[in-house]
């Protein structure tokens, strides 16, 4: 379980560490309509197809980077989106990167905010999160934080909308649930 784990990012000499408080899981080809891998492998989602322990970082809505942990064996797509966390080291750096945050709990509250706080972009897509020499590292918790919330994933519509693959702790950094909404042109 990733809840309570830590993701750290060293950009230059700047280190930011976030304790993970909220995640969402996504399945693979043909099994999860909410997944980028549902229709098969593309250049965009190739990292999702393994190996496990790597970062799948993608650009969404033409403005946000989101960070996932690849969880399945090579050739079988699956990933867990890191939705939110608590900045536990490098808070001043995270504040510089997220000047619009009105409270520290909002620095990494939501997947795009978390990626900004950590300084993560598509340039780091595919980085090995378990490599001790990597600039982005994942440390699993010795004791996972208790799951306080399970339910449908935020913003997922269609057949996968009600899949209860969102998991969160009881922490103020957890983002509010938002069902998918129809986009207007």
Range of the domain at 142: 6-168
pLDDT in tens, the chain (185 residues): 799 999 999 988 999 999 999 999 888 888 888 878 888 889 889 999 989 999 999 998 778 999 999 998 999 899 999 999 999 999 999 999 999 999 999 999 999 999 999 999 999 999 999 999 999 999 999 987 888 888 877 777 777 777 888 899 999 999 877 776 665 55
Whether residue 28 is contained in a domain is answered as yes
Whether residue 185 is contained in a domain is answered as no
Whether residue 175 is contained in a domain is answered as no
Whether residue 123 is contained in a domain is answered as yes
Query: What confidence score (pLDDT) does residue 181 get?
Result: 65
Whether residue 11 is contained in a domain is answered as yes
Query: What confidence score (pLDDT) does residue 34 get?
Result: 80
How many structural domains compose the chain? 1
Residue linked to tokens 């982005």: 136
Whether residue 79 is contained in a domain is answered as yes
For the entire predicted model, the pTM comes to 0.91
Cα separation, 124 vs 122, in Å, equals 5
Whether residue 176 is contained in a domain is answered as no
Q: DSSP string of 69-132?
A: EE-SPTTS--EEEEEEEEEEE-HHHHHHH-TT-SSGGGTTBSHHHHHHHHT--GGGTT-BTT-T
The DSSP secondary-structure symbol of 28 reads -
């Amino acid at each position: 379980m990733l809840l309570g784990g830590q993701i750290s990012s060293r950009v230059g000499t700047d280190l930011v560490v976030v304790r993970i408080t909220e995640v969402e899981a996504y399945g693979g080809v043909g099994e999860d309509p909410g997944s980028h891998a549902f229709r098969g492998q593309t250049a965009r989602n190739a990292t999702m197809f393994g190996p496990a322990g790597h970062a799948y970082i993608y650009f969404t809505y033409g403005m946000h980077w989101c960070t996932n942990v690849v969880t399945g064996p090579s050739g079988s797509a699956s990933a867990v989106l890191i939705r939110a966390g608590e900045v536990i080291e490098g808070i001043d750096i995270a504040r510089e990167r997220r000047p619009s945050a009105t409270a520290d709990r909002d620095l990494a509250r939501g997947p795009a905010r978390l990626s900004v706080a950590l300084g993560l972009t598509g340039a780091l897509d595919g980085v090995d999160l378990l490599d001790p020499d990597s600039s982005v590292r994942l440390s699993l918790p010795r004791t996972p934080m208790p799951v306080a919330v399970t339910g449908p994933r935020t913003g997922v519509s269609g057949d996968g909308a009600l899949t209860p693959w969102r998991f969160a702790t009881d922490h103020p950094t957890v983002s509010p649930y938002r069902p998918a909404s129809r986009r207007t042109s």
